[in-house]
Amino acid sequence: MQKKIDLVNGPVLSSLTRLAIPIMATSLIQMAYNMTDMIWIGRIGSSAVASVGAAGMYMWLSNGLAVLAKMGGQVNVGHALGAADKEKAAEYVSNALQLTLVLGIIYGIICILWARPLIHFFHLNQAQVIRDAGSYLKITCGLVLFSFLNQTFTGLFTAIGNSRPVFLATTTGLVVNIILDPLLIFGIGVFPALRVTGAAIATVVAQMIVTLMFLIFAAKDTVLFRYVSYRKKPDMKSMNAIVRIGFPTSVQSMLFTGISMVIARLVAGYGDAAVAVQKVGSQIESISWMTADGFAAAVNSFTSQNHGAGKKRRIYQGYVSALKVVFVWGIFCTCLLIVCPAPVFKIFITEKEVIPLGVDYLRILGVSQLFMSLEITTAGAFAGYGKTVPPSVVSIVFTTLRIPLALILVHTTLGLNGIWWSITISSIVKGVLLFIWFCVFMRRENILHNHIGRKDE
């Protein structure tokens, strides 16, 4: 397999697809990674799922900080490589990794010191659920640095057109997690039964191994990482460029999670079982959004390098090719969640009183899968240009509107389902609006003008 893919020359669809397939496979593996935890934890009971769901919100929140260095580093490295400036690209790599280290350490310390009040935010009902949530939070978020590094390395390897290390490292992490989960959760042989704490330990150990593999791949890389000076003092100009591009996406991600936490608190009012449904449902729903996010990463790198090289026509062709793939995948996920909700949900939780709640969640969220995938892919294309503000504005405004809409709908006959409908409606609106915005942007940049049907540059 060719390690580095030339994104600025040759057939567009072939280049984009060869970069995207490992990333999409990696996203599916990451989804399986999360689902493996959920399947084993679900065997303990819905209360255990609720505890992991509450604590997991802070792991999700941490992604907002991680994306600051990941997005800013990936886009700037792509622009520099497109302009054939390896020295500048290497400088962005070192600054992105240094920023990642600082943010990961700070967030971990906060979660360890303030675990109790952070979990108390959700007003969970059972004492055991609260204790388990605190334990899971301290371990997974306390050692979140490894997750941060993995995300940044993923963005940097993708930026240079080499998604193979990402696939191999993530696959290894999944295998380790699959092996450790049952051993540490239920206790097999010499291993004690640690239940939720065991799941947290398994996750962190797997993340550590993924980080180690990324370091090995970086040491062997001859395209970019060999030129990186990791001990070099941060360059403020490069750091500012990373923050400038990554900040809107970081704020968007953290606000999105913060709003989701408020939604989760509303859900908790319907009992711990409802919290478990939201946690499991979001994991199942990740079949679509994690795959779309992986393909968006490929579009990001493809766009950034071709933007740096001044090849507008290839950008248009790459975006159209991406939309075709995402459209097919979005339709598939919609059909899966609407037509087969019960069999899919039973994989995680088998308690009869919980299954109907899960079926409602999947059917309602299934309506929005295509539009959500459209939003994610278009955000990747915007980011490739370094234009992270438009997707952030759309996401922040309409994700925020979920709260008042949910408060209105829960007081109708929909009840709990009103919360799920508030999520679906906002996802549809975001996907449509961002697509229209990008089309207007491309027209202003003269990217749409007479490009359809013309040969590649």
Task: Provide the 8-state DSSP code for 191.
Answer: S
Q: Quote the pLDDT of residue 446.
A: 67
Tokens of 285: 């729903």
CA distance 214 to 150: 7
Tokens of 68: 């600051």
Q: Quote the pLDDT of residue 427.
A: 93
Q: Quote the pLDDT of residue 81.
A: 82
Task: Provide the 8-state DSSP code for 45.
Answer: -
CA distance 24 to 132: 33
CA distance 240 to 417: 43
**Angle between helix 369-384 and helix 417-444 axes, rounded to 10 deg:** 40
CB 149 within 8 A of CB 214: yes
Radius of gyration of the chain (CA): 21
Instruction: From 367, 369, 422, select the one nearest 400 (Cα to Cα).
Output: 422
Task: Provide the 8-state DSSP code for 83.
Answer: T
Residue 126, phi then psi, degrees to nearest 5: -95, 140
Long-range contacts of range 453-457, CB-CB < 8 Å, 24 or more positions apart? 454/313, 456/10, 456/11, 456/12, 456/313, 456/314, 456/317, 457/311, 457/313, 457/314
Q: Per-block average pLDDT, block size 10, for the chain (457 residues)?
A: 59 68 69 68 73 79 88 87 84 93 94 88 77 88 93 89 84 88 83 84 93 93 84 86 88 82 81 78 76 78 79 81 85 89 81 84 91 91 85 90 92 91 94 93 68 45
Q: Which helix (H) or strand (E) holds 360?
A: helix 355-366
Q: Quote the pLDDT of residue 142.
A: 92
Domain boundaries, the chain: 12-444
Q: How far is CA 237 from CA 44, 242, 305, 391, in A?
A: 51, 9, 20, 25
Tokens of 314: 């290839």
CB 66 within 8 A of CB 152: yes
Among positive and negative, which fits the CA dihedral 134, 140, 143, 145? negative
- Name the 3-class secondary structure at 233: coil
CB 92 within 8 A of CB 80: yes
CB 89 within 8 A of CB 80: yes
Q: Which helix (H) or strand (E) holds 310?
A: none
Q: Which helix (H) or strand (E) holds 440?
A: helix 417-444
CB 297 within 8 A of CB 380: yes
Q: Quote the pLDDT of residue 99.
A: 94
Q: Quote the pLDDT of residue 228.
A: 85
User: For the chain, how many helices (H) and strands (E)?
Assistant: 17, 0
Q: Quote the pLDDT of residue 246.
A: 87
CA 324 to chain centre: 21
Q: Quote the pLDDT of residue 204.
A: 93
Q: Quote the pLDDT of residue 431.
A: 93
Tokens of 327: 């459209």
Tokens of 396: 């922040």
CA distance 207 to 150: 8
Q: Which helix (H) or strand (E) holds 8?
A: none
